A and B are shown apart, each in its own frame.
Chain A
Amino acid sequence: MHYISKLTYYLVIILIILSINFFLPRAMPGDPLAYVLGENPDMPTRMTEEEREMRLAEYGLDKPLLEQYLNYMVGLSRGDLGCSIYYNTPVMDEILVRLKWTLLLTGTSTVIYMLLGIFLGAESAWARGKKKDTGSLITILTVSSFPTFFLGTLLAIFFAANLDLFPLGGARIIGASYANPFEKALDILHHLVLPAATLIIAHIGGTYLLMRNSMLSVLGADYILSARAKGLSERYIMNRHAIKNALLPVVTMAALTVQFMIIGTIFVEKVFAYPGVGNLLYDSVLRRDYPLLQGIFLFIAISVVIANFIADMTYLWLDPRVRDE
């Protein structure tokens, strides 16, 4: 029963997101046609009334709102997110060619920041109140206060521009000829270091604090106390019992942090000219490529909703208390 109501709830949310996406350009001040045709301040064009009407008809903007809405929904059901003004190609295509880079960046960063956050959080909680705990807590609170773009720019200035240890930007050397796939992977990795490091530093705080809190409450629990009473080694208790039990909220949060990760990615990709979806979002804002902008929003929003849905489902399946609530 719970599963079905959850499913319905998420479907409703998706429907709402789709509707927001549809009504947004139509509710905004200005010419709806302008939002389909975009703007090019360097090449101003004049349209006659006839041309305008022709264009309106071409994009179906002359039809009643309800009919436009239905057409939009039908199009979406076929995976049609419309056409980018700038690229003059389907929005979905433009997103898909960039997706692999974004997945690489976010995937790598997520894995590392989660593991690191869990490890540091657990260590910190274990050493509660000691210098080690306070030190890492303050450090992590401080680095978490850096906006992603500021952090990224600083890393680029120090490690790329000044020390020349890593590339300034991009995902690989363009036009390079590699002797073997390994060399190529190394090049890609080399380009990945700074953007991924930025994301990891910017996001580690959440996991760290969650793990620390969760761990602290677990450490006060009866079975840990009894384990201690049994004389088991501290390390063993920590690894064997405490961490495992403290993980539940962290795992649940993992899916919920997807949206923060995506937002961070927009800034990181911009700073490092990394060829992912975030950079595309930035470009489409810059070019006022509204269909592309909306397409990316839809894509991200639905990905986030799906991630949340999966998290919810996992949580339901894992924790019977929630199920019975």
Chain B
Amino acid sequence: MTGVTVKDVLGSLGLGILVILVAVSIFAPQIAPYDPHDTYKPMEHPSSEHLLGTNDVGNDILSEVIYGTRVSLFIAFTVSITAIVIGTALGLIAGYSGGVLGFLIMRIVDIFLTIPRLVLIIVIAAFMPRSIWTIIVVFIIFGWVMTARIVRSEVLTLRSQYYVESARMLGGSDLYILWRHILPNVIPLVVVQFIMEASHVIIAEAGLSFLGLGDPVARSWGTTFHYAFECPNIITSDVWMWWMLPPGLCIVATVLGFTFVGYALEERLNPKLKTVVGMGV
């Protein structure tokens, strides 16, 4: 019994974290004490005016991190939603219609899965102008693959199920069958996949920004961390506590939120599914 409870606790905990973070990003202008681009005296220690001090150009760090929630979550959700939609569509096509198109899609999937994704992303990002759209596009290009593959194999199983067969025999159109019978069964998988992808994007985007390839204007947590890391006295003084720890812990909290929710959902929705959690970066 304890196992089930723990899972529920973790799931709700994760959900709680995510809800808070989403709320923070939506209400960033109301929550943040300052505009993250306003400048004050640089390198201030925490005080009642600046709860987390100021950074090297005098931006309020707390406000920067709060607005960073917006940037990081925006990238994560935009990428994973788009990637999931594309992946599901391609997976459905590949699984349901099979044939040359299906074969082609699956070959592309295999190739994408074999190429080390983040290394190629780093290389592409180095060639492109630094902006959050660059990051979003590059992540989408590589993000749909896993979903397509999982959806396809599920469709292959479903297609041979008796109710799908009978629906077809009764003359249901392909589109109707896909929509009515297959998609609803694929949705749980897709939801889990969405969570995995979002958590992966959070951590990968942070990594990319840490390497100095993030958007320097719309500062995500990773970018804030990057600037903190570059600060020459970051570890010889206490500065890291208020400049490095907050964005770092935000990344951890988000990933943990996704992981817990994913973990709780996963076995509930599909006990057979074994996704490897925490292998993002």
Residues of A within 8 A of B (CB): 9-10, 12-13, 16-17, 20, 24-25, 28-30, 35, 128-131, 134, 138, 140-142, 144-150, 153-154, 156-157, 161, 202-203, 205-206, 209-210, 213, 253, 257, 259-260, 262-264, 266-267, 270, 281-282, 285-286, 288, 290, 293-294, 296-297, 300-301, 304-305, 308
A206 to B276, CA, bound (A): 6
User: What residues on B are CB-neighbors of A147 within 8 Å?
Assistant: 203, 206-207, 210, 248, 251-252, 255, 281
B116 and A144: CB pair below 8 A? no
Beyond contacts A290-B127, A293-B123, A301-B116: 20 other A-B pairs, Cβ-Cβ < 8 A, are A13-B115, A24-B124, A138-B6, A145-B252, A146-B252, A147-B207, A147-B252, A147-B255, A149-B207, A149-B229, A150-B206, A150-B251, A150-B252, A153-B240, A257-B279, A259-B116, A267-B281, A285-B212, A296-B119, A301-B120
B126 and A263: CB pair below 8 A? no
A134 to B6, CA, bound (A): 8
**Interface size range on B against A:** 35 or more
A301 and B3: CB pair below 8 A? no
User: What residues on B are CB-neighbors of A142 within 8 Å?
Assistant: 252, 256
Please give me the residue from chain A that is nearest to B248 by CB atom. A150
Please give me the residue from chain B that is nearest to A205 by CB atom. B278
Tell which of A128, A140, A148, A210 touches B276, judged by Cβ atoms closer than 8 Å.
Answer: A210
Chain A CB count within 10 A is highest, among B235, B240, B251, for B235
Say how far B122's CB is from chain A's closest CB, in angstroms.
7
Chain B CB count within 10 A is highest, among A24, A129, A146, A294, for A146
Q: Is B94 an interface residue (CB 8 A)?
A: no
Q: Is B140 an interface residue (CB 8 A)?
A: no
A17 to B211, CA, bound (A): 23
User: What residues on B are CB-neighbors of A296 within 8 Å?
Assistant: 119
User: What residues on B are CB-neighbors of A213 within 8 Å?
Assistant: 274
A28 touching B128 in the complex, CB below 8 Å, given contacts A206-B276, A270-B211, A297-B119: yes
Cβ < 8 Å to A, chain B residues 253-281: 255-256, 259-260, 263, 274, 276-279, 281
User: What residues on A are CB-neighbors of B118 within 8 Å?
Assistant: 263
Q: Is B61 an interface residue (CB 8 A)?
A: no
Q: What are 6 A-to-B residue pairs whose CB atoms are below 8 Å?
A: A25-B127, A28-B127, A134-B3, A253-B276, A264-B281, A285-B122
Say how far B244's CB is from chain A's closest CB, in angstroms.
7
B260 and A141: CB pair below 8 A? yes
User: What residues on B are CB-neighbors of A294 within 8 Å?
Assistant: 123
Please give me the residue from chain A that is nearest to B255 by CB atom. A145
A250 to B44, CA, bound (A): 50
Tell which of A9, A30, A148, A157 touches B207, judged by Cβ atoms closer than 8 Å.
Answer: A148
Q: Is B92 an interface residue (CB 8 A)?
A: no
User: What residues on A are CB-neighbors of B187 within 8 Å?
Assistant: none
Tell which of A24, A156, A262, A301 touches B127, judged by Cβ atoms closer than 8 Å.
Answer: A24
Say how far A312's CB is from chain B's closest CB, in angstroms.
10
Please give me the residue from chain B that is nearest to A156 by CB atom. B235
Say how far B215's CB is from chain A's closest CB, in angstroms.
15
B3 and A129: CB pair below 8 A? yes
User: What residues on B are CB-neighbors of A146 within 8 Å?
Assistant: 248, 252
B116 and A263: CB pair below 8 A? yes
Tell which of A16, A144, A286 touches B278, judged by Cβ atoms closer than 8 Å.
Answer: A144
Tell which of B111, B229, B255 touches A153, judged by Cβ atoms closer than 8 Å.
Answer: B229
Bitwise, B113-148 to A at CB < 8 A (1) or not (0) is 011111110111011110000000000000000000
B213 and A305: CB pair below 8 A? no
User: What residues on A are CB-neighbors of B251 within 8 Å?
Assistant: 147, 150
B252 and A297: CB pair below 8 A? no
A73 to B114, CA, bound (A): 21
User: What residues on A are CB-neighbors of B244 within 8 Å?
Assistant: 153
User: What residues on A are CB-neighbors of B30 within 8 Å?
Assistant: none
Cβ < 8 Å to A, chain B residues 1-37: 2-3, 6, 10
A321 to B276, CA, bound (A): 23
B119 and A263: CB pair below 8 A? yes
Chain B CB count within 10 A is highest, among A35, A142, A153, A253, for A153
A16 touching B111 in the complex, CB below 8 Å, given contacts A142-B256, A144-B278, A267-B207: yes
Q: Is B67 an interface residue (CB 8 A)?
A: no
A29 to B128, CA, bound (A): 8
A213 to B271, CA, bound (A): 11
B235 and A9: CB pair below 8 A? no
A260 and B279: CB pair below 8 A? yes
Q: Is B236 an interface residue (CB 8 A)?
A: yes
User: What residues on A are CB-neighbors of B236 within 8 Å?
Assistant: 161
User: What residues on A are CB-neighbors of B248 within 8 Å?
Assistant: 146-147, 150, 153-154
Q: Is B110 an interface residue (CB 8 A)?
A: yes
Q: Is B96 an interface residue (CB 8 A)?
A: no
User: What residues on B are CB-neighbors of A206 within 8 Å?
Assistant: 276-279
A157 touching B277 in the complex, CB below 8 Å, given contacts A13-B114, A141-B256: no
Q: Is B194 an interface residue (CB 8 A)?
A: no
A205 and B277: CB pair below 8 A? yes
B127 and A305: CB pair below 8 A? no
Tell which of A28, A129, A154, A156 touches B2, judged by Cβ atoms closer than 8 Å.
Answer: A129
